[in-house]
Structure 1
């Protein structure tokens, strides 16, 4: 339920520039430390496996089980946020990150560790909640620069992923020798607690506040008043279950296509992002300490990928920028795994691969928010975001099977990571383009409109 930009429709209350920028900065910090916690597990996995005496196959299985429980929790976040609000939802996700980090440091064994890492599903949903909230805030902000370049502005927030990886790798390199992997998890919980407290001062989006008013009128039996109020703001007042709404006419195609794209692309994320240290140590023969240093360089370059793709999405259309980026990434990883040798060449190709693998998520998360109406926006973005975990699960199952059958990590990364990344780029071309106030002309044909207008089928 974004503001209508045609005449005769009442505008939502505006959000001043200072509040908009504050919300953007806090969203960035929350996502950075959510990813910090999420990636810290993958970064420390070789050391955790050594501590418990796990084989490569066992470690891969544990990682897969963690993906299962993470996905279950992440899937439930969207409907909850569409019910309780964006502000409360953001407090919930970052609090879950803090608790998950603290409990992970106390793990006595594999079963307990898998259970507490399920709270990582709250942190993983941070991006979906951020995209939902900022999509609505940027639509009504008085900051015209952000409104015109909303994709670029959001890219700085979503760029918390590679920076979170850098922080996790740096943190592990510094503190692992001093406090061990348990201490690393315990220390990781403190920043998330601080961010949860900061979020208490954020304002709820006016679009969701109107949704609450409409819902309240319906519960009181005042359906005519609800219809009149909705018409006043130019929104659809008809109630609908959020999960059903994202598969309704006008939304179903993008939900299905984006779902398959998420699953396929997360094969690459799981291999090259989450398990990057394992790929470098086992696949390319890099030392564990050396792999941490390489990940810092690789993800610093990856952050630039977010800024580039956020800017490019505003200029050339988010769907095309996402698809082309993933195609390029897959090709670069194929070359890195099959032909590259030597530190410089491996780091260069890995860095460029991550630039085009994770960078498009700056455009993707914001694009998803534009695909849905207010009553199901958090559900749609969180549902798609949660589908990353089936991708991670399948990637883990296939990788574990390949390793158990005698293949090495290099072969597993090629088949599971690089090829699937190429496939995700091809799938993305099946999504519809979105019509927004700032959309480039390239996004006008065959468009999907948000709830400021009717939604095309």
Structure 2
């Protein structure tokens, strides 16, 4: 009988562990937290050391800006690509790839020879930026299947602690760079940054795959071998959705399209605020508010402490009152705080307080936003959806930066520019958030399944 007429091979039923132990849950949470700190550390460290790199190679400010823009484009491409990959290879392998990419990017940056090399290497660091979206995917599924009732009940709050690795990474980058730069130079700083990331790669190797993905992966294999009915029965047995096809295509189908479109716009416009108030924060404070650089650095660091506490609060508020409305409200309050800082604050303490409130209300909602994004998609395209949305911040950075440059070049001052680009972007992102659909948190996985299938 020819191969074309051969019946599909009947697979033996496979049993799955649908529970995640308390120890595994907490270990996965800690690993996600540490990996995110290191990813942010690498990202911020590059921005901090770019002037040193520029000086060594003799690049002009325009050349350095062009290189940074090219890196943003490369980063966006890498972040877009990692999501579909993780939906194919699994959450565990994806988490190894993201923190591994951080280690590789740090080590290779130390060997920078020319602009093209730097752009290529720093684009790899997009794997580190994707860390937060892969963390959200992994932890959403782990918390839905965990035996740890405390984490299950307060999953949004617990995730906010993981996401708070951003300000901790910023502080680590600023602190260690200032300590190590005089001792080992900028190349040595990058080499040393790769070491803790490599340690996390080794520790993460023992993490277990999420039960949802394990079951979905098995169903996908059954379909490929021709056992479509068995695959559908397996997914139905564990209460998982059916395969929607290619992950990128899936996130734009009728079920997910509205949230994909609105959340893409939320990320795009919100990063107008990120480029204005975070990336160019010290420049805004010195040129826009007239503060000395040393003072502006202190104000900037104090304001980012506000962001840290914002993560914790919005994680709890999102769990209690719903993530979508809390994110939208937070961004709108951030726009109000930044407006008061730009137009009303006239002394350093007032600037510091209002800037801290702005960072509190803009950074904090991301703790709820990242977890909400994981709830917007099903297992077959969850990593693709969260990574795609995460990547939309990069175009926002590029476009927002270009508008800022054009407005300043035309003679407008920093206050006007920051109001139009920064405040305008943050305010729009808050309004757009209310265009998204409210999503229930992921159902507790495995607890409504026939005990006969639970192992």
Query: After TM superposition, is the score higher than 0.5?
Result: yes
User: What residue is the counterpart of 1:448 in the other structure?
Assistant: none
* CA distance in 2: counterparts of 1:380 and 1:332, whole angstroms: 31
Q: What are the equivalent positions in structure 2 for 1:347-386 lying under 5 Å apart?
A: 347-386=352-391
Deviation at 1:209, TM superposition (A): 0.4
Structure 1 residue 335 corresponds to structure 2 residue 340 = yes
Contact 2:140 2:442 in 1 (8 A): no
Which residue among 173, 178, 187 is the counterpart of 1:168? 173
Instruction: Supply the RMSD in Å over aligned alpha carbons.
Output: 2.2
CA distance in 2, matches of 1:185, 1:289: 25
In structure 2, the residue matched to 1:24 is: 29
Is 1:101 aligned to residue 111 of structure 2?
Answer: no
Instruction: Please tell me whether residue 144 in structure 1 is matched to residue 149 in structure 2.
Output: yes
Q: How does 1:442-457 map to 2 (within 5 A)?
A: none
Max Rg structure: 2
Provide the C-alpha distance between the structure 2 equivalents of 1:405 and 1:54, rounded to a whole number of angstroms. Answer: 24
CA contact (8 A) 1:166 1:295 kept: no
Measured at CA, do residues 282 and 118 of structure 1 come closer, stay the same or move farther in structure 2, by a change above 3 Å?
farther
Partner residue of 2:330 out of 322, 325, 340: 325
**Deviation string for 1:378-416 (max 9, x for gaps)?**
000001011111111111211222233344544433322
Change (3 A) 1:246 1:29: same
Give distance in 2, aligned partners of 1:410 and 1:17: 50
Q: Which residue of 68, 77, 91 corresponds with 1:72?
A: 77
Partner SS for 1:214: helix
Question: Is 1:204 matched up with 2:248?
Answer: no
Asked if 1 retains the 8 angstrom alpha-carbon contact of 2:314 and 2:365, the reply is: yes
1:24-45 CA-to-partner distances (Å, cap 9, x unmatched) read 0110000111011112222334
In the alignment, is the contact (CA less than 8 A) between 2:244 and 2:250 conserved in 1?
A: no
Q: Which runs of 5+ in 2 are unaligned?
A: 1-14, 449-455
Q: How far 1:272 moved relative to its partner? A: 1.9
In the other structure, the counterpart of 1:7 is: none
Matched, 1:232 2:237: yes
Check whether the contact 2:141–2:210 (CA below 8 A) recurs between aligned residues.
yes
Count residues in correspondence: 431
Instruction: Give the drift of 1:55.
Output: 5.1
Deviations 1:233-267 (A, max 9, x none): 12233451111111112211000000000100011
CA distance in 2: counterparts of 1:404 and 1:105, whole angstroms: 34
Deviation sequence 1:51-109 (CA, Å, 0-9, x none): 55555544443332221111011100000000110001001011111111222233234
The alpha carbon displacement at 1:275 in A equals 3.0
Question: C-alpha separation between the residues in 2 aligned to 1:237 and 1:437?
Answer: 16
CA 1:333–1:45 in 2, change beyond 3 Å: closer, same or farther?
farther
Measured in 2, the distance between the counterparts of 1:395 and 1:435 equals: 33
CA distance in 1, matches of 2:311, 2:380: 28
- 8 Å CA contact 1:310–1:360 kept in 2: the answer is yes
SS at match of 2:439: strand
Report the equivalent of 2:398: 393
Question: Do structure 1's residue 178 and structure 2's residue 183 form an aligned pair?
Answer: yes
Note the C-alpha offset of 1:226.
1.0
2:266 is the alignment partner of 1:261: yes
Q: CA deviation at 1:157?
A: 0.5
Cα distance in structure 1, aligned partners of 2:226 and 2:403: 53
For the Cα contact (< 8 Å) 1:146–1:153, is it kept in 2? yes
> In terms of mean alpha carbon deviation, does 147-156 or 392-401 score higher?
392-401
The equivalent residue for 1:86 is 91
Structure 1 gaps, min length 5: 1-9, 440-451, 453-457
Aligned counterpart for 2:130 among listed residues 121, 125, 128: 125
- Structure 1 stretch displaced more, 166-175 or 359-368: 166-175
